């Protein structure tokens, strides 16, 4: 008996430590697979002994500990009982109509509206008391400031980050987040709204907790949220919840996970009664309301395999270990690679060298994951040099104690990912069909280290190498090379934008090219002896700061070399400098609404600028004219123009006064 109690204490301690890290954006302590197995072991011991320790996770709600002003929930946010058996769901449903929906893997937020306006956003906390993070609402997509609903409305939803946005963040940042949920949780502990906004957190409602309308159908309550523009979780009604019917719907949702049709991380499914009155009649056992809902978690299929090697790949500033092992079949697909996240995860698992025996799963049926080392052979060798640029690599320890490997070379090609992405973008050289993930792959495989390398991908040995990459069939390689070939034909404006020159966006590049031919422009910049670098400062919209940045960029030897290597691969359209007219000289315009004479508003803007005018996005005291074909519109711009006594003219009136003769 004492041995069992001792084991229970050990399990409780390990589970609570892992939960604390999981719910607060810290490094991952164990996989969901391990946590579930340990939780089930603890639960079985509690049943055998009749003892439940005070801090047992079976008897309390997992809690986020986001710092900030604490607030008691108006309605307790209890957790759901969990099962991996469909028979449990059938028994629970009692042949009543039920709904099945995603169990989103994020951070629960309770959002409250009063008289159509957002009044507060509170984290779930321990289910009774959470943290008020209303100040972060503008940074979270899906939480509108106002809705068309008067009265009191309380909605519970999940703050999540898509797999695509998470992968992008990991490529660009130096963070040590293990998964999207980890990142979402860590992000909501930040104070800076602009920083949080860059994490692309989305809030998806999963239940309407309170409304002043008398709606007793869960489905109709969710439809109300839909009608209010709140985009609730995907869901499906099961009128007659027999085992076959439930299995059928679970299979539909499961296929969306395995086929990657669902962009957000999920860790199971939720079922609830359509009859919300009946659902509220259950009792509370531990931290579960017995009729509030039931969570179904998939049985993770695991496989035993053998490590071949660790592949270290560099993205931005971090060098990430990836386990490459003998192929195994999991969830209907062949798996032979799994990210190990960082050095700390390798140490936690006890990863060794070639031949190490591993157990792997596809976590939540989608992400390959090493869950256990059954036998370590040899020791893990952490590289001393960056796999991309071969500069020294060093292990660094974050504030949370997570160890990550970093490249020490600030000029490493892997750190230029955003620049390469801008280079191939539509506004740049427009190499269609090449994503940042593809660029990252090419950089790590040594195919791309500077801009000119995109035009060397046609070399036979490189084509052969790309053809052997996962996901690159004959057709995709052909499409890529055709796109690269097509992009060779460009003009000076797109090239200048593609070069990532500081402060040289599309408009600045356009203004420079309108004044000078490309060759002359580069020659002036490279040979400028101006003390302040103000050779282009007199161009409207450039000024001394942008001029200096442009010239200083071309004074850098590495930048000049990159341009010199790139130019022979391009056919640059000759553009004669545009002589500007004076019909709009010194005037500032705002254009709103549809246009009819010009192809679009951009063409009208281009004409105004060609005549010495300026176009801005909002009406202010410095605006001279608002162009709007609907002069009687009650739009905010029209109202502002009336307040400031700014003339509102139609497109025809503009043409009559400022158009070409």
Catalytic residues: 103
Tell me the β-bridge partners of 489.
Answer: 571
- Looking up tokens 């041995």, which residue turns up? 3
SS3 label, residue 77: coil
Sign of the Cα torsion 185, 12, 34, 27 reads positive
Residues 9, 2 contacting (CB under 8 angstroms): no
Between CA 556 and CA 554 the distance in angstroms is 5
Tell me the β-bridge partners of 490.
Answer: 572
Residues in the chain: 661
Between CA 546 and CA 537 the distance in angstroms is 8
Rg of the chain over all Cα atoms, to the nearest angstrom: 30
To 5 degrees, how large is the angle CA 77–CA 83–CA 86?
Answer: 125
Q: Report strand pairing: 357-363 vs 302-315.
A: antiparallel
Between CA 593 and CA 240 the distance in angstroms is 51
Residues 6+ apart with CB under 8 A from 241: 89, 90, 93, 95, 96, 97, 98, 271
| Angle at which helices 557-566 and 543-555 cross, to 10° | 80
The pair of three-digit structure tokens given for residue 311, joined into one six-digit string: 């592949």
The pair of three-digit structure tokens given for residue 121, joined into one six-digit string: 């956003």
The pair of three-digit structure tokens given for residue 241, joined into one six-digit string: 């919840």
Residues 6+ apart with CB under 8 A from 140: 109, 121, 159, 196, 201, 202, 203
Residues 651, 595 contacting (CB under 8 angstroms): yes
The 8-class DSSP code of residue 574 comes to P
| Angle at which helices 180-187 and 163-172 cross, to 10° | 70
The pair of three-digit structure tokens given for residue 142, joined into one six-digit string: 């899906």
Residue of 372, 311, 313, 356 whose CA lies nearest to 337: 311
Between CA 219 and CA 531 the distance in angstroms is 70
Phi, psi of 327 (to 5 degrees): -55, 140
Helical segments of 274-358, H only = 276-279, 343-349
Phi, psi of 33 (to 5 degrees): -60, -50
């Amino acid at each position: 008996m004492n041995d069992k109690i001792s084991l229970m204490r050990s399990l409780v301690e390990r589970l609570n430590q892992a939960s604390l890290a999981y719910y607060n954006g810290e490094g991952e302590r164990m996989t969901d697979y391990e946590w579930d197995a340990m939780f089930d072991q603890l639960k079985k011991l509690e049943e055998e002994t009749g003892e439940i320790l005070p801090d047992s996770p079976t008897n309390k709600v997992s809690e986020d500990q986001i710092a900030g002003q604490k607030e008691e929930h108006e309605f307790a946010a209890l957790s759901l009982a969990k099962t991996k058996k469909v028979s449990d769901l059938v028994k629970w449903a009692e042949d009543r109509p039920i709904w099945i929906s995603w169990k989103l893997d994020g951070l629960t937020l309770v959002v409250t509206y009063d008289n159509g306006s957002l009044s507060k956003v509170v984290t779930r906390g321990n289910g009774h008391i959470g943290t008020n993070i209303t100040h972060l609402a503008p940074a979270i997509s899906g939480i509108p400031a106002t809705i068309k609903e008067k009265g009191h409305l309380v909605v519970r939803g999940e703050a999540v980050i898509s797999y695509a946005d998470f992968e992008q963040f990991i490529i660009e940042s130096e963070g040590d987040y293990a998964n999207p949920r980890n990142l979402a949780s860590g992000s909501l502990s930040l104070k800076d709204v602009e920083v949080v906004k860059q994490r692309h957190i989305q809030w998806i409602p999963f239940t309407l907790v309170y409304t002043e309308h008398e709606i007793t159908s869960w489905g109709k309550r969710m439809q109300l949220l839909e009608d209010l523009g709140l985009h609730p979780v995907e869901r499906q009604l099961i009128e007659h919840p027999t085992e076959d019917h439930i299995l059928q719907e679970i299979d539909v949702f499961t296929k969306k996970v395995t086929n990657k049709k669902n962009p957000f991380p999920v860790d199971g499914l939720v079922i609830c009664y359509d009859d919300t009155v009946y659902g509220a009649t259950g009792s509370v056992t531990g931290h579960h309301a017995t009729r509030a809902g039931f969570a179904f978690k998939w049985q993770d299929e695991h496989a035993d395999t053998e490590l071949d090697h660790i592949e270290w790949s560099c993205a931005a500033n971090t060098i990430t270990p990836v386990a490459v092992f003998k192929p195994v079949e999991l969830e209907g697909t062949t798996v032979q690679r799994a990210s190990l996240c960082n050095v700390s995860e390798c140490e936690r698992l006890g990863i060794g060298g070639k031949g190490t025996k591993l157990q792997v799963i596809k976590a939540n049926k989608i992400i390959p994951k090493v869950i256990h080392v059954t036998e370590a052979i040899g020791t893990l060798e952490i590289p001393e040099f960056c796999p991309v640029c071969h500069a020294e690599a060093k292990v660094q320890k974050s504030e949370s104690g997570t160890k990550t490997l970093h490249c020490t070379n600030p000029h490493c090609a892997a750190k230029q990912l955003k620049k390469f992405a801008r280079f191939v973008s539509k506004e740049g050289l427009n190499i269609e069909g090449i994503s940042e993930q593809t660029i990252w792959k090419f950089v790590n495989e040594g195919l791309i280290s500077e801009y000119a390398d995109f035009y060397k991908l046609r070399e036979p040995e490189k084509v052969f190498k790309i053809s052997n990459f996962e996901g690159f069939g004959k057709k995709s390689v052909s499409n890529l090379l055709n796109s690269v070939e097509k992009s060779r034909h460009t003009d000076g404006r797109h090239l200048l934008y593609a070069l990532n020159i500081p402060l040289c966006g599309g408009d600045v590049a356009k203004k420079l090219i309108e004044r000078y031919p490309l060759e002359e422009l580069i020659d002036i910049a490279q040979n400028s002896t101006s003390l302040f670098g103000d050779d282009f400062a007199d161009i409207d919209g450039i000024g001394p700061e942008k001029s200096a940045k442009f010239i200083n960029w071309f004074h850098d030897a590495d930048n000049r070399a990159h341009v010199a290597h790139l130019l022979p691969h391009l056919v640059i359209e000759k553009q004669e400098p545009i002589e500007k007219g004076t019909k709009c000289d010194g005037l500032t315009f705002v254009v709103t609404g549809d246009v009819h004479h010009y192809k679009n508003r951009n063409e009208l803007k281009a004409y105004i600028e060609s005549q010495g005018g300026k176009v801005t996005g909002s009406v202010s005291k410095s605006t001279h004219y608002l162009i709007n074909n609907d002069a009687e519109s009650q739009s905010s711009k029209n109202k502002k123009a009336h307040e400031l006594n700014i003339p509102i003219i139609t497109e025809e009136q503009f043409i009559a006064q400022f158009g070409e003769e």
